[in-house]
Amino acid sequence: MKHAEERSPLERAAPLRVPGQSLTDELDDVVYDHVLSPLFLAVSMALLAVLEWWRYVSDAKPSPWVFTAAAVATFLYAVFKVRRTRRRIRLLKLGRDGERVVAQYLEWFRTSGFFVFHDVPSGDANLDHVLIGPRGVFSIETKTLSKPRRGDCKVSVVNGVVLANGRKLDRDPLVQAKAQAGWLRSFLTGSRFDVSVWPVVLFPGWFVSPFDSKGVGAWVLEPKALNKFIENEPERYTREQVQAMASALSSYIRMQNEK
Q: Which of 59, 75, 99 is the last residue of a domain?
A: 99
Q: Are residues 251 and 184 in the same domain?
A: yes
Q: Of 99, 130, 148, which residue is a domain's last? A: 99
Percent of the chain whose predicted confidence (pLDDT) is above 70 = 91
Rounded (5°) CA angle 20-100-11: 115
Claim to verify: residue 78 and residue 159 sit in the same structural domain: no
Contact between 8 and 146 under an 8 Å Cβ cutoff? The reply is yes
Per-residue pLDDT reduced to its tens digit, 16-33: 556 555 566 667 777 777
Residues 237 and 117 in one domain: yes
Of the listed ranges 78-92, 148-162, 177-191, the least confidently predicted one is 78-92
Same domain for 218 and 104, yes or no, is yes
Q: Is residue 112 part of a domain?
A: yes
Q: Is residue 11 part of a domain?
A: no
Look at residue 38 in the predicted model and tell me its pLDDT.
Answer: 77
Contact criterion met (CB below 8 Å) for 188 and 195: yes
Which residues span the domain enclosing 59?
18-99
Tens-place pLDDT, residues 126-152: 899 999 999 999 999 999 998 887 778
In a domain, 1, yes or no: no
DSSP state of 233: S
User: 77 and 140: one domain?
Assistant: no
Contact assessment for residue 245 and residue 193, using Cβ atoms and an 8 Å cutoff: yes
* Domain stops at, among 73, 99, 125: 99
> Quick one: 89 and 108 in the same domain?
no
DSSP state of 18: P
Quick one: CA dihedral 231, 232, 233, 235, positive or negative? positive
Average confidence score pLDDT of the chain: 86
Same-domain pairing of 66 and 110: no
Q: Do 111 and 221 fall within a single domain?
A: yes
Q: Are residues 229 and 189 in the same domain?
A: yes
β-pair partners for 207: 154
pTM for the whole structure: 0.78
